[in-house]
Amino acid sequence: MYSNTHPVNVLKFCPRCGSAHFQATCNRSFKCEDCSFNYYVNSSAAVAVLLFNDKGELLLTRRAVEPHIGKLDLPGGFIDPGETAEQAAIREIQEELGIQVHSLRYFGSFPNEYVYSGFSVYTIDLAFFAQTENLHQMTASDDVSSFEFHKLQDVDPEEMPSISMYNIIKELISREGTY
Ligand SMILES: [Zn+2]
């Protein structure tokens, strides 16, 4: 009923007391029968950043790491605890591309299931438009191997590595001219 990577099939022991009597009460909640510890599977927040060059082409990156190594992606990543989504977007672009962005503007939220080390992490990817004057200074680093610009109509959403990135591209195309 659940995939091998679903938390119900991965989390076998109570993280507090180590008991094996750690039962899923539904698909996103666990309770320890020995110490009453409750654990909930919630969405992890992440950001994706939408940067366009002066020809109106979208910046896409190539993944340097698994999952989906070598595939196209949007720059971004997980939001650290205590960080705002806007701070995370600025930090991720600095880490992956070495430039400063500003004037972040919210586009929408896109759910995803991100399988990492055999575990499904449910995410909510928050997409932001951003501005920069430093596109010509970009250098790929961290979990990005290279970057490229594409006209939206030339991007095949099927090439994107996840359902959230697929839906971001689809929505950018369907709303083109309105944002
Ligand atoms: Zn316990």
pLDDT tens column, 135-158 = 999 998 888 899 999 999 999 888
Tell me what pLDDT residue 50 has.
Answer: 98
Q: For residue 113, tell me if it sits in a domain.
A: no
Positive or negative torsion for Cα 142, 148, 152, 153: negative
CA of 23 to the centre of ligand 1 (A): 10
CA of 16 to the centre of ligand 1 (A): 5
Domain match, 99 and 143 both? yes
CA of 49 to the centre of ligand 1 (A): 40
Domain match, 23 and 82 both? no
CA of 19 to the centre of ligand 1 (A): 5
Domain match, 56 and 22 both? no
Question: What does the pLDDT look like over 13-43, one tens digit per residue?
Answer: 999 999 999 999 998 999 999 999 999 999 9
Give residue 146's domain range: 44-108+118-174
User: How many separate domains does the chain show?
Assistant: 2
Tell me what pLDDT residue 161 has.
Answer: 86
CA of 20 to the centre of ligand 1 (A): 8
Domain match, 91 and 145 both? yes
CA of 18 to the centre of ligand 1 (A): 6
Region 72-81: what's the mean pLDDT?
A: 95
Tell me what pLDDT residue 63 has.
Answer: 87
Domain match, 73 and 148 both? yes
CA of 97 to the centre of ligand 1 (A): 43
Domain match, 25 and 63 both? no
